[in-house]
Structure 1
Amino acid sequence: MQRTRRRSLIAVGALAAALTMTLSGCVTAFFPKEAASQTSTPAPVADDLDAELRPFYEQQLSWEACAGDGFDCATVTAPMDWENPSDGEIELAIVRQRALNGNAVGSLLMNPGGPGGSGYDLVADSVDFAAGDALQQNFDIVGFDPRGVGRSAPVSCLDSADMDSYLYDLPQNETGSDAWIAEVGESSAAFNQACADNTGESLEFVTTVSAARDLDLLRAVLGDEKLNYLGYSYGTFLGATYAELYPDTVGRLVLDGAIDPSASISDVNEAQSMGFESALSAYLEDCLGSSDCPFDGTVDSAKQDIADLLASVQASPLPASDGRQLGSSTLLTAIIYPLYSADSWPYLSQMFDQTMSGDPTYAFFFADQYNGRDEQGNYINNQTEAFTAYNCRDYTFDADVDSMRQKAQELAEAAPVIGPYMGYGDIGCSTWPYPEQAERAEIHAEGADPIVVIGTTNDPATPYAWAEALADQLDSGVLVTYEGEGHTAYNKGSDCVNAAVESYLVDGTVPEDGLDCS
C-alpha cells in the first residue's frame, strides 16, 4: 500500500544540519580504558519515596568500557508505567565520558532534541560538538536515549522498504481535496497501527512526562543529589518538564533553542513555517551577494523562483537513479535541512542549482540525511517513529476537515514559500492508538534554582519568541540572547554564549538576565 506523509512539526534537533561537521569527536579521557568497569552508588533516596519505586532508585549501575577510549556505558532499569511501577520494566541506555581532569563535580546529562534524537550518539559520536572543553574537564558528560529512542525500548513501526514508501511515495490526489485527506489519513492510520503492533505495550508510555521521570531516575542512580542538564531544542521541553515535576532537585539547567511549552500544535506549525521562511530569506540575501548564487534579482523574486520550483516538482516529479521521485514534500525537507545552520548555506545553493537543472541527487541526499536513511536505503535510527510517538501524545490535535483547511490557508498566507506544505498535520495523530493527549500549558517550576534559557534571534526551528516565553514563564528563568542565524547557540562560535553557559554550569555563576550576545 502506498504511504504518504504530510509534514507537521519540524524536528528540532541540535544535530539536524551538521553538514559541514565530522561527527566523530571522541576524546581520549583521563582514565585508561582498562579502568572503565565499575559500579555507581545511587544518591540517597527520600524517605517518602513510594515503596514500589525504591528498587529502581536504589539500583547500582555496572559500567563497562564502550564506544571508544574514555567512554563507558550502562543500562538503567525504569518502570514502563510510572503510575503503576509493578506492571513492567524498560531499559534505558546511557553512555559517559568521565571528567577529563579526573575530579568531576558531578554528572552533566545532555539531550540533543527531536523528539527522537539520541543523546547516547550525541556524546559517543560527537562529544566535542555537544560540550566545550570546560564542561568536559569538570563534568562526567552523560548521554542517554530517552524511552522510545534508539537503544531505550525503541518505538518500532516499519521496515526500511515500507519506511521509504511512507516518507517518499507521492500522493495520488490533489493536496487538500477530500480524496487526498482520505489517502493521507489511511496512510497515517496504517503507520500508527504498525507502531502499535511492532513496539508493543511500552508505546503507550512514550511521553515527555514519562521521559522526565526517567531523567530523575538517571540523576539518582548516577549519584547526583541535583540534576545538572544541558538540553538542546526539544531537550529544552524535556528539561522544563523535569523542573516542573522536580523543582527541588533542579541543579544547573541550561535550555538552548527553547520551546514554548504552552504553544499549541497550531502555534508551533505557524511559528516554524515563519521561522524557516525567515531563514530562507536570510540565506537568499547572503546568496545574492555572492558570485555563485543560483538565483538573481531580489530576495522576493528568488523566493518566488523557489515557490515555482516546489510547484513544478509537485506537478512533474524528478526521477532519481534509485527509482524514487522527487516531489514537493521531499524537496521541502531538502530545503529545510541546511537552513538549520548558516554554515550549510553553500550546500543549499548547490542543491538548488542541481535541482533546477533537473537532477534530484542532492535533494534526496539532504532529505535522506534528515530522515536518517543511509546510502543503502537503511534507516540508521528510529527518529521518525519516536518523533511521531512523542508528538502524538504531547499535543492535542484537531482532525476537523474544515478547521484543517482554514489553518492550511493561514499558514500559506503567513509563509508563502514554506507554509503551503506545512498544513494538515493534524491528520497524522488523529488515529494514534493511544488517544489521550496532553494539554499544553505554561511551566513555572516554582522553587527551582536558576534555569538559563538561550534563544537565537533567527532560529528557524525554535523561534526566538519561544525562548522569551519560556524564560518569562519559569519563576527562575534567566534569558540569554544570541543575535544570529541558525538553530541553538552554545558551542557554535559565540564566546559570549559559551562563557555564560560554562560559567554557570561549572562555577554556578548566573548570567545577567537579558544578556545580549551579539
Structure 2
Amino acid sequence: MRRLVLTVSTALLAATLPAQALAQEQTREQVQASPHFAQTIAWGPCTDLPPPAAALECGTYRAPQDWRTPGNGKDITIAVSRLKPKSGQARGSVLTNPGGPGGPGRLLPIVYESRSKLVDNFEIIGIDPRGTGASTNVTCANFDFLSLADPRDRSRANVKLLYDAAELQATACQHHSGEFGKVVNTEQTVKDLDLLRHLLGREKISWIGYSGGTWMGAYYATYFPNRVDKFVLDSNTEFTTTFQDIFDEFGRGFERRFRVDFLPWVAKYDSLYHLGTTPEQVRQKYEEIRAKLAETPIQLPDGSLFTSVAFDLTLVQAQYSKHSFPPAAALFSRLDQNTATASAASADIRYPDAPTATLYAITCNDTRFKGGRGYLAEEAERLGRQYPLIGYYQILAPCAFWNRPPLQLKTPTGKGVPPVLMVQSVRDPATPLEGAQRAHEKFADSRMITVADEGDHGIYGFGNPCVDDLVESFIVDGKVPPKDITCPGMPLPDPTTTTTLDTKPSLVPGWL
C-alpha cells in the first residue's frame, strides 16, 4: 500500500512540478526511508577526551562507508561533540573544523567557551571526520617517510631514497587502509556532515573552519548550497585549485613568516637568546646548527634522534602562532649552546608530529597530482633554492605514487551560495595570502577580512577583538559586511615581561 501511494504521489508531482523539483522530492523520499536518517545521537560525557572537555558532551552516529552505495550494510562511525548554551535553547548549530586536512576536531569547541555572544545563542559542534580521531580510522601503520632522509641532500642516492620512501608511504597507507581508504575524501565527508545537520534537526547550519577546514566548508557549500547559513572560513587554503598547488605554496608562506616575523623577533631579544643581533645573524646561526645536526644528530632520551629534519620541522611548526615563538627560540638557543654536548639540550626536545594517514587519504584522493620522480626533483630544487626553510620538502610526494580512485569533485564557485566570510592574515605561513585572495576572487559573493601586520594561522577566537566582533556579528546578528574589511593584527609577545608558553590549542593536527 505504501509503495502504491508513493507511486501515485510521484506521478502527480511529475505532472505539476519541473524536473528539478521532482528530483528533490524523490531525494527526500529516499532520505526518509534510509535508516541513517532515522537514528539519534545519544549525547553523554566525553570520557575519552582530556579534562578540558568536561564542558562538552560527546556522541556518535553511523554513516554509510560509501555514500554511492548507502544501503549495502557497510557503515562507519563518526564521533562528535557539542558545547551547549549555558542557558536557554540554541538558535542553531555551528559546525567546526580545525583543518589537517582530516584532523580530529572534538576538542575545538572548547576554544569558544569564553565567546559568550556565540555560545549563548548556538550549540557548537566538534567533529572527528571520517578517517581520524574516535571515528572509523585509516592508517599508514606509523610509517613516516619525512623522517627518513634530509631533502636538502640532493645527491643521486639521497634523492632516490626520498622518492623510494614516498612511494613506500603511499603503499603503506593504501594497503593498511584498504577499501575504506578509497572513500576518505571530501565528497564523502561533506555528505557525512549533511547527515549530521539532519540529525541535529537543522534546516541550515553555520560553520567555522580553519585552514583545511576552509576547504571542507567551501565544498559543503558547493554540494549543499541550500543548507548554508553563516559560513566562516579562517586561514584559507586556495580551495579553488588542487592540493598539489596548495602545498607547493608552503615554501613561500613559511619563508616569509620566518624572515619577516620570527628572525627579527629573535634578534630583538638577543640578550635572552644569544643567537644574533640582526635577522641575518640569526638565520646564519640556524644554518650552522642545522649543518651540525645533519652531521651528528642528538640522541633523545627515548632513543630516537633529533636530526636536521626535526630542527627544520620544529621551526616550521613554530611559525603557525606567535605564542610558539618563545619556546621555539629557547630550544634554538639551547641547541646552539649544547650541540657539542647534546644531552643537556635534549630534555624537552620532541620530534614534530608526522602528517596523518587521513591527510594523505584526502589530499591524494581529492585532486589530481601531476609529475613523477624527475618532475618532483626539479620542483624541490627550484623551491628549495628560493625558500630554504621548507621549500625542499614535498609533503605530498606520496600522492605521485597513489592509486587514485575515480573522483571528480564539484568546482567551488560560490554561485547560489549565501555570502561566506573569509578571514586571512597577511603573513599566514601555511595558507599564504596570495592563494586566499585567488580563492576569494573565484568564490562569488564572498567577503574577506584581511588582518594586517599579522602572521598567525587561525585568527577567530584567539584574541583579535576586531576579528572576533566581526565574525560574531556575522554569525549571531546576521550582518554581512557590505565589502571587504581590514583589521589590525596583534603584537608579537615580549618574552622578557610575560609568561609565554604556547597555550593556544593546536589548529593544525597535520599541516593545513
TM-score band, normalised by shorter chain: 0.7 to 0.9
Q: Which amino acid aligns with 2:373?
A: V
User: Which residue among 298, 318, 324 is the counterpart of 1:344?
Assistant: 324
**Contact preservation (8 Å) 2:63, 2:78:** yes
Per-residue deviation at 1:274?
1.6
CA–CA separation in structure 1 for the residues paired with 2:215 and 2:185: 12
| Superposed counterparts of 1:58-457, under 5 Å | 58-67=37-46, 69-87=54-72, 88-123=74-109, 127-128=110-111, 132-158=115-141, 163=143, 166=145, 168-170=147-149, 175-281=153-259, 282-290=261-269, 291-356=271-336, 357-358=338-339, 359=342, 367-368=350-351, 370-371=353-354, 384-419=356-391, 421-423=392-394, 425=395, 427-436=397-406, 443-457=412-426
**Structure 2 residue matching 1:458: 3-state secondary structure:** coil
Shift of 1:461: 1.1
* Cα distance in 2 for residues equivalent to 1:272 and 1:243: 26
* Length-normalised TM-score, structure 2: 0.81
Which letter does structure 2 place at the counterpart of 1:61? T
- State the partner residue of 1:375: none
Give 2:468's match in structure 1, choosing from 492, 498, 513: 498
SS at match of 1:288: helix
Local SS of the residue matching 1:242: helix
From 480, 496, 499, the counterpart of 2:449: 480
Q: Which amino acid aligns with 1:463?
A: P
Distance in structure 2 (CA, Å) of the matches to 1:340 and 1:321: 27
Distance in 2 (CA, whole Å) between partners of 1:361 and 1:225 is 58
Alpha-carbon distance in 2 for matches of 1:330, 1:305: 16
2:356 partner SS: helix
Residue 107 of structure 1 aligns with an amino acid whose one-letter code is: S
Distance 1:131 1:245, change over 3 A: farther
Correspondence for 1:37? none
* SS in structure 2 of the partner of residue 103 of structure 1: coil
For the pair shown, which has the larger CA radius of gyration, 1 or 2? 2
Distance in 2, Cα, partners of 1:331 & 1:438:
38
Backbone CA RMSD of aligned residues? 2.7
Distance 1:403 1:360 in 2: 41
| Gap change, CA 1:350 and 1:406, over 3 Å in 2 | same
Q: How far apart in 1 are the matches of 2:199 and 2:121?
A: 19
Which ranges in structure 2 are unaligned for 5 or more consecutive residues?
1-22, 47-52, 489-512
- 3-state SS of 1:274 partner: helix
Contact 1:306 1:417 in 2 (8 A): no
**Per the alignment, in what secondary structure is the counterpart of residue 27 of structure 2?**
coil
Query: 1:412, 1:360 → 2: CA distance?
Result: 31
Q: How far apart are 1:212 and its partner, in Å?
A: 1.3
2: CA distance between counterparts of 1:207 and 1:151? 17
Q: Report how many aligned residue pairs link the two structures.
A: 452
